[in-house]
Structure 1
Amino acid sequence: MTVRLGLGTYRCPDVAGAAQMVAARGADWVDTAPNYAGGRAEMSLAGTLAAHPSMCVSTKVGFVPAGAGHIAVRAGALSSAEVEHGHCLTPDYIAWQLARTSLMLGREPDLVFVHNPEHACADGEITDRLFNAFLALEEACGQQVVGGYGVATWRGFGSGLFDVRTLLDLAVKAGGPNHHLCAIQLPVSLVHLAPVAQALNGHGPLADALAAGLEVFVSAPLHGGEIPDMVTPELSGLIAPGKTPVEAALAVVASAPGVKRVLLSTGNPEHWTRAVEAVGGPPLSPDVLRRVVDVLGT
């Protein structure tokens, strides 16, 4: 399976400039959210998406963008308490956020992730929260407002709040056998190696997604830029002799079973080009991945 690099916009200081740069270099995917870049990330992508209509875009629903809460309240999509909370996955808010997203992007998104459904979720509420979100997204897919949906989580899989099987069961319940759940997004890096170790043993979110035909989007592959300083020459040599720490770290992520897309936030052309080569190169062997896990732990 060919792994591709996509632009992530979470920590991107110049979203518009980065999008233009990667599009000019053949990038085919950009991932964003309404709350990124102080609520301006989606709007910042509109020009590039218009100029490059073949570029796909994924966004998210859940968090309330800065400065948009009062607008949602006036529209009847949020209560004042929900604005204060900062995160909402009710059907009314999802429908409102999707309409706003299409306006900001200048087009409908190809994929929409339920954004950190575990956020401030009380015990026992996650299943109902996900199911109601899936119902709203199935309706949006039926109306061709979005092409498909997924779940983007920071700790949902690792904490045991839900697994891929649970998501699939809820999607079937919400949309039937022809549901539109098609992807998951989670952090995988030299800091977050547990999904890799699990996949090498045939279980966990990466292996389960691969078996179910779901696309896996990896977020934070360099852990916010901290990983290059953590990779010693010895570790880099173990992973990929002759490669830089960044290239070695990305090679581990891209070689994990089930990974389809690695999201990287950068506006530097050289960094992007080298990352494309690292992600798209021959995968590391399972033996190398196991040695990395043995050295670093999970």
Structure 2
Amino acid sequence: MRTADRRIVLGLHRSRHRRDLLTSALDLGVTALDTAANYLHHRSHSTLAAVAGDLLPEFSISTKVGYFEDGHSLDPARLRGAVEQAVVDLGLEPTMVLLHNPEHSAPDAETLSQACAVLVDAAEGGLCGSWGISTWDPRPLVGIALSRPDTLMVRSGLLVSSSVLDAAEALVTAWRPAAVWGMSPFGGSTTAPVWQKVDPRMFLRSPAATSVQAGFRVAFALPAVDVVAVSTDDAEHLRELLGGLGQELDAETVQAYRQLLRQSP
């Protein structure tokens, strides 16, 4: 196994949860998995344990709670039950549990605080190592005061709108998370038509990278994140992304891009 690279997380949103993919990830030095209680039709945790239970202790595992088979809920009792069930289904305590898209339930400050308190208690009680918030659209959460989460997970990359980028940065400023993670750097697919129209290598100081590598690398700057989670079933895709992490971004080009985004209607 290669030396672990903590900047990349294997996301399981669109994954079929194959054992060979997890083995290949470990061989490449990708030792972090990101999933959610509702992934794979609410069977992600139990499927992981069934196909790769012996491998799971080799990963740091982040998961999310908030979506249930009957919809989204921030009810503290249901969230607590979901965390406890995650431990049972995975067969181990996850490294981190994130509150999944709390904006889906349009919470006020009290509701969000009570939901987060469940995860704080879970971490302090040993059900998980740490806690945080994962938000697909952070804009409804801006202005809500919150105790400092361990991690804030937001969308990152060239397909994220200016208003979402600004909102994510506002939450980072207000909540001061210990770590900021990015997700969905390609908006779902590197083969989408949009990637035929733009060459992300313009954001690099050197063109010695593939456009996929460049798109992934720039996701660490839009907004500024420590880690990026990417969903794939292809080990070669992971290998390609790892190969681009050493590329240096052109900060001036990234800044100019942000300014253009803000000026666009």
Question: C-alpha separation between the residues in 2 aligned to 1:216 and 1:283?
Answer: 20
1:99 corresponding residue in structure 2: 84
Contact kept in structure 2, 1:141 and 1:147, CA below 8 Å = yes
- 1:277 Cα offset (Å): 2.0
Question: C-alpha separation between the residues in 2 aligned to 1:111 and 1:259?
Answer: 17
Contact kept in structure 1, 2:36 and 2:64, CA below 8 Å = yes
Aligned counterparts, 1:123-202, within 5 A: 125-155=107-137, 157=138, 159=139, 161-163=140-142, 166=144, 169-171=145-147, 181-194=149-162, 198=166
Question: C-alpha separation between the residues in 1 aligned to 2:74 and 2:172?
Answer: 25
Change (3 A) 1:87 1:196: closer
- 1:139 Cα offset (Å): 1.7
1:29 corresponding residue in structure 2: 32
- 1:213 Cα offset (Å): 4.9
- 1:104 Cα offset (Å): 1.2
2:73 corresponding residue in structure 1: 88
- Unaligned stretches of 5+ in structure 1? 66-82, 173-180
Asked if residue 39 in structure 1 is aligned to residue 24 in structure 2, the reply is no
Greater shift, 88-97 or 255-264, is seen at 255-264
Q: Which amino acid aligns with 1:287?
A: E
Question: C-alpha separation between the residues in 2 aligned to 1:139 and 1:208?
Answer: 22
1:9 corresponding residue in structure 2: 12
Instruction: Say which of 231, 251, 259 aligns to 1:286.
Output: 251
Instruction: Say which of 146, 169, 189 aligns to 1:225.
Output: 189
Question: C-alpha separation between the residues in 2 aligned to 1:19 and 1:287?
Answer: 37
Q: Which amino acid aligns with 2:216?
A: L
Q: Secondary structure at the match of 2:132?
A: strand
Change (3 A) 1:262 1:142: same
Q: Secondary structure at the match of 1:102?
A: helix
Contact kept in structure 2, 1:219 and 1:263, CA below 8 Å = yes
Question: C-alpha separation between the residues in 1 aligned to 2:190 and 2:75?
Answer: 35
- Unaligned stretches of 5+ in structure 2? none
Cα displacement string for residues 59-92 of structure 1 (whole angstroms, at most 9, x for unaligned residues)? 0111014xxxxxxxxxxxxxxxxx3xx1112121
Q: Secondary structure at the match of 1:118?
A: helix
> When the two structures are superposed, what TM-score results if normalisation uses the length of structure 2?
0.84
More helix by proportion, 1 or 2? 1
- How many residues are paired up? 256
- 1:129 Cα offset (Å): 2.0
Q: Which amino acid aligns with 2:11?
A: G
Question: C-alpha separation between the residues in 2 aligned to 1:262 and 1:285?
Answer: 19
Asked if residue 277 in structure 1 is aligned to residue 243 in structure 2, the reply is yes
Q: Secondary structure at the match of 2:158?
A: coil
Cα displacement string for residues 142-198 of structure 1 (whole angstroms, at most 9, x for unaligned residues)? 21111111111111x2x2x224x74xx4326xxxxxxxx200111112110537965
Greater shift, 42-51 or 256-265, is seen at 42-51
Greater shift, 223-232 or 105-114, is seen at 223-232
Contact kept in structure 2, 1:228 and 1:245, CA below 8 Å = no
Q: Which amino acid aligns with 1:277?
A: G
Question: C-alpha separation between the residues in 1 aligned to 2:196 and 2:261?
Answer: 12
Q: Secondary structure at the match of 1:23?
A: helix
Asked if residue 63 in structure 1 is aligned to residue 42 in structure 2, the reply is no
- 1:42 Cα offset (Å): 1.4
Instruction: Say which of 34, 54, 63 aligns to 1:50.
Output: 54
Change (3 A) 1:228 1:238: farther
Contact kept in structure 1, 2:38 and 2:44, CA below 8 Å = yes
Contact kept in structure 1, 2:35 and 2:62, CA below 8 Å = yes
Question: C-alpha separation between the residues in 1 aligned to 2:165 and 2:82?
Answer: 36
Q: Secondary structure at the match of 2:154?
A: strand
- 1:133 Cα offset (Å): 0.8
Question: C-alpha separation between the residues in 2 aligned to 1:268 and 1:215?
Answer: 27
Percent of pairs with identical residues? 25
